[in-house]
Each structure stands twice: as C-alpha cells, then as structure tokens.
Structure 1
Amino acid sequence: MAEAKQPYLNGAFYGPSIPSVSHHPSRGRGCGCGCCLLSFLLKIVIFVVFLVCLAFFLFWLVFRPKVVKFHVTDAALRRFDLNTATNMLDYDLPMNLTIRNPNKHIGIYYDRLEASAFYEDQRLVTIPLPNFYQGHKNTTTLNLHFKGQKMVGLQASDLEKYNSQNSSGAFNIDVKLYLRIRFKLRDLKTHKFKPKIKCDLKVPLQTSGSFETERCDIDW
C-alpha cells in the first residue's frame, strides 16, 4: 500500500505566534518635545547674552568710558581733643574733595551723596551733600565739614594710638562717601548705581603741617 503524501506547505509558519514589539514614544525619537523646547530656550538665552556682550563692547569701543576719580586735596584738624575721663571726642575737620569726570561723552547725575568720618572704625558723624549734575570732562570740588562731639569707646591699644598720633601731629581718619548716581549719554540715562568711596587719610593738626593730596578708592 503506498504511503500518503504530505500536503504541500506554502511557506507559512504554523508555530506559536511571535510577540509584537511595541515602540515607546520616547525611544528612537530623541527626548521629546520637552527637551526640544529646553534646547530652543537655551539657544535664545545664549544669543541674547551674545548681543548684550556685543553691545557693551561696541559701547566701550566708541565712547571709551573712563573711571571717575575722587581726591581729597586739602584737610586739616582744627581740633581733635579726647577727654579720657568721659571718652568724649571733640573734633573739627574741614576738607576739600574733588570729583573728576574725564569722559568726553558721558555726564553724571549725583542724585544722593552722604559723607561719613571715622576714627578707629568708629563713626563720628554723617553729613548730607547737595546733589548735582556733572558734565563732560569736568572737575567738581565739594567742601566737607565734620564738626561736633562724639562719645567713643576706645580700648587701651586705641588710646595708645591716639597719644602717639597726637604727639606726631597727624591722625588717621577714614572718610566714606555713599552715592546714588546715574550716567547720561546724550539722551540716554542709565539706571541708578550705588558706589561707595573710601578715603584713607592722614590728617595733620592745623598747627602741625600741610596735607598731601590723597586718592580715594571706589567700590562698585
């Protein structure tokens, strides 16, 4: 008896089904819309920073802004007497301060000025100064006058310094200026800046010698 022939297979697979592969939305397509938006914003920030830096560079290249200079040109202690029994310091200190604006195209509005005198890190007095506008390549002289009485808490080492300075005829006085200013370039005015000016001075007694001009430091 002849064997029965196997039926012809057309190539189809009749085994167990092959599981389908699911594609997660975040796979194969980068990091999604969130990362694309973050990358776009980062490019905008970098571009804006570049434009700001370029603008500052062009501003400096065209106008070449120079630093304003502060000098104490004259100062003398008419009186600087310490009563050691009461720790009361009696002082009288007039001085001249010059402000030089060396810029050709930039003016300066001094909207607020205050000056304070210190001895051994102790504030003696704070005085207000008139506000004003300073034009191009201009030197302005301010007359400061610190006068009054102040109770000071000097330690033994500070008393030794006072006696030593009194014998030498000159005292170490610090003067600080607190400013609120704006710069003007043609019709453009900047926002307000608040620099601090510090002048470390060696001020002679009026009867002991002459004062040498001192340059002050600027802290922006």
Structure 2
Amino acid sequence: MGDNRQSHLNGAYYSKGCNPFSCCCGFIFDCLCTCVCQIIFTILFILGLIIFICWLIFRPSAVKFYATNASLTEFTLDNNTLHYNLALNLTIRNPNKHVSIYYDRIEARAFYEGERFASTELTPFYQGHRSTDSLTAEFKGQNLVLLGNEEISNYNRETNSGIYEIEVKLYLQIRLKFEFVKSKQMKPEIACNLEIPLNDGTSSGNYESKRCEYDW
C-alpha cells in the first residue's frame, strides 16, 4: 500500500509540474524569443543609426518657393462668371548641397475667396543641388465662381482699391535624389497668398515678391 501511495504521489507531482521534455522545450522557446527580439532590436538600432548619420551628412534644407512677379490684366466678375488673365512667375531655390529633386508633376491652381477658378499644368523638370529655377504659370479664360454676399462685398472693395487677394497653390509630385539614391514619390503642396494689382491700362500698381509656404 505504501508503494501505491508513493506511485500516486509521484503521478500527481508530474501531472501538476512539467516533465523534463516539456521544460526543455519551454526553455528553448524562451531562448528563441529572446534571440529574435535581440536581433530585431539590433537591426532597428543599426537602421536608426544609419538614418541619423545620413541626416548629419546631408542635412537637407527646405526648398524655397517665391512668386517673384505677377501680371493681372483682367479680373472681372459678371453674373457669377469670373473673367481673368493672370501670369505668375515662380522661382524655386534648392539650397541643398547633396540633394537634387525630380519634379515629376506640377499643377498650379488659382483661387479667389476660397473658390478655384483656374488650373494649369507646368512642365516637369529636374533641379540640381544648390540651383535656382524659374517657372511661369498662366491663367486665362472665364469660369463660374459662386460667391456669397460677403465675398462679393470683398470683391467690390478690392475692385475699388485695384488690388486683388488671389491664392495660387502648387500641387507637386517629387522625388529626392541623395547622391545615387532616389526617394519614393512625395506630394507636397505649396500655397502662395498674393496681393496682385490690376494692370488693365487704366490702373496700375507695383507687385511685391512674395515667399510661398508649405501647405500642411
């Protein structure tokens, strides 16, 4: 009876604990998990270090956009139809020493009182490092523009002053080139809030160059 009791106790012991084989498997599994975590952490650390070193080497600066000149020869609102003739000269300055830029697509859109009245596609180009390029966006035609009473009042006020507040936005698709490495395509937006004098032969004013901002 003593042997049976001992056997029963031993069985209970092994059923509640782990046998040597299961303990060994658990130990191996824990070791594998620890090794995998250490490998992942090491890879992430090395990648972060590489990115940080590249940033220290290249130190990219923001590309600067300027609306350097504008010519507005027509801007007439007649029964919710806007007649316009606007030419805008843009200057793009890349100050980076090691970064060049592919402008794969450039769309310029013109807005008045938040309403888009025109758009045009500009010619794609490649911009080298530490270089300045110029573009011209031309908007000419007529389009339906639905304005409220407040916006119409603003238009009448600006007509009397001879200076119109027009916003031009650039919708870009670009790729950056770091030496021999090209980035994925990015889509930044640039906003130019302009005050443009009407020059229709009867009135004229001086346009002041304006720096455009990134529209986040």
Q: Output the TM-score relative to the length of structure 1.
A: 0.83
d(CA) in 1 for partners of 2:122 and 2:149?
35
Match of 2:155 among 138, 162, 166: 162
Structure 1 unpaired stretches of 5+: 1-12
d(CA) in 2 for partners of 1:67 and 1:43?
37
Match of 2:126 among 133, 152, 168: 133
Q: Which amino acid aligns with 2:46?
A: L
1:88 deviation in Å?
A: 0.5
Which is further off, 180-189 or 63-72?
Answer: 180-189
Q: Which amino acid aligns with 2:138?
A: H
1:82 deviation in Å?
A: 0.4
Q: Which amino acid aligns with 2:108?
A: A
**Contact 1:170/1:208 (8 A) holds in 2:** no
Q: Which amino acid aligns with 1:205?
A: L
d(CA) in 1 for partners of 2:101 and 2:209?
24
1:182 match = 175
Shift in CA distance, 186/155, structure 1 to aligned 2, threshold 3 Å: same
d(CA) in 1 for partners of 2:29 and 2:2?
45
Match of 1:78 among 36, 50, 73: 73
> Per the alignment, in what secondary structure is the counterpart of residue 158 of structure 1?
helix
**Contact 1:87/1:152 (8 A) holds in 2:** yes
2:109 match = 116
Structure 2 unpaired stretches of 5+: none
d(CA) in 1 for partners of 2:28 and 2:204?
79
| Larger helix percent | 2
When the two chains are superposed, the root-mean-square deviation of aligned CA atoms in Å is 2.5
Structure number, greater radius of gyration? 1
Aligned residues: 206
> Per the alignment, in what secondary structure is the counterpart of residue 118 of structure 2?
strand
d(CA) in 2 for partners of 1:170 and 1:42?
64
Q: Output the TM-score relative to the length of structure 2.
A: 0.84
Match of 1:211 among 189, 200, 207: 207
> Per the alignment, in what secondary structure is the counterpart of residue 76 of structure 1?
strand
Pairs within 5 Å for 1:87-102? 87-102=80-95
Shift in CA distance, 32/211, structure 1 to aligned 2, threshold 3 Å: farther
d(CA) in 1 for partners of 2:162 and 2:29?
73
1:16 deviation in Å?
A: 7.4
Shift in CA distance, 154/38, structure 1 to aligned 2, threshold 3 Å: farther
Q: Which amino acid aligns with 1:63?
A: F
Post-superposition Cα deviations, 1:55-86, rounded to whole Å, max 9, x if no partner, equal 22111222222111101011132111001xx2
Match of 1:105 among 89, 98, 105: 98
1:154 deviation in Å?
A: 0.6
